[in-house]
Amino acid sequence: MTIGAAFSLQNPIDTVVRQAREAHEAGVRSAWFGQTFAYDSPTLAAIVGRDVPGLQVGTAAIPVFGRHPLIVAGQAQTAQAATGGRYHLGLALGTRHLTETGFGIPYERPVARLREFLTALRALVETGSADFHGELLTATTPLPATVPGVDAPVPVLVAAMGPQALRVSGELADGILPLLAGPRALAEHIVPAVTAAAEAAGRPSPRIVAFVPGVVTDDVERVRERATEALSFYERFPSYQRVIELSGATRAVGVAAIGDEETVAAEVRRYREAGATEVVFTATDLGGEADQRRTWQLLGELAKG
């Protein structure tokens, strides 16, 4: 199982690079970066991947609203070339509030947009060209769209958890990036749905990259309080409310892995048994630098075993 960590976007680039290097030296195999209205995630991933040889890097995840497949394909292929084939592109539906408030774009037919975006994007990253004319977007290449130095197509994953998004992702993507989906939700709902869709489309078994808030710490009560506050942001959105409930929890913190090494390692095993092919820990900084390094150390040990 590949074990990774997501990194905060609240730090300067040099700090992010240093943290990613420390995590990789501890044995962490992959580093993932969110997409906000600040950092450009593929650029940040390319910088980190180039400065930390051997580390897999990824974006989790770029909303399809407010972007175009031609632009995203260029960003992803540039990061892939810069890192020698170690970049992984994550896409997302985003949310109505952020889409309409930030971009002024109506949040309409998100799953249909995702399908068209993936269809055009796959052509671009696999062949370097596209001639796609859909209901919601057009992507054609009157000029070449291949980046020199890209020897393999960029893996494309989707932060999908709902039934329709899982179906589209199974048909058109290489895997999914579920966040706050506990082992129960994965095993009973998410993994069967995306796997069945991939099989029906004649595609390989999808990657299941589970994003899990997790910290190794002795101060469990303090870290859990901080996690409760930090993760409450997600509880505003129906998609996360649903997957948290399917996980058997009432709050987002209910799916967090917080405790000593034995406790957290047991949680990682539960995700593996539920069908996760990879686990990425988020929110590792909630306990402070010492706990963060301790978390990376455990993740590195689990990656070896």
- For residue range 33-60, list pLDDT tens digits in order: 999 999 999 999 999 999 999 999 999 9
Domains identified in the chain, total number = 1
How far is the C-alpha of 14 from the C-alpha of 47, rounded, in Å? 10
Q: What confidence tier does 288 reach under pLDDT thresholds 50, 70, 90?
A: very high
How close are the terminal C-alpha atoms of the chain, in Å?
A: 8
Percent of the chain at pLDDT above 90? 97
How far is the C-alpha of 153 from the C-alpha of 122, rounded, in Å? 9
Tell me the CA distances in angstroms from 55 to 6, 39, 264, one per residue in order.
13, 20, 23
Inform me whether the pLDDT recorded for 7 exceeds 70. yes
Model confidence, pTM: 0.96
Contact assessment for residue 69 and residue 117, using Cβ atoms and an 8 Å cutoff = yes
How far is the C-alpha of 255 from the C-alpha of 244, rounded, in Å? 7
What CATH number is given to the structural domain containing 284?
A: 3.20.20.30
**Paired tokens of 36:** 């906000």
Average of pLDDT values for 194-219? 98
- Provide the residue range defining the domain that includes 244: 2-304
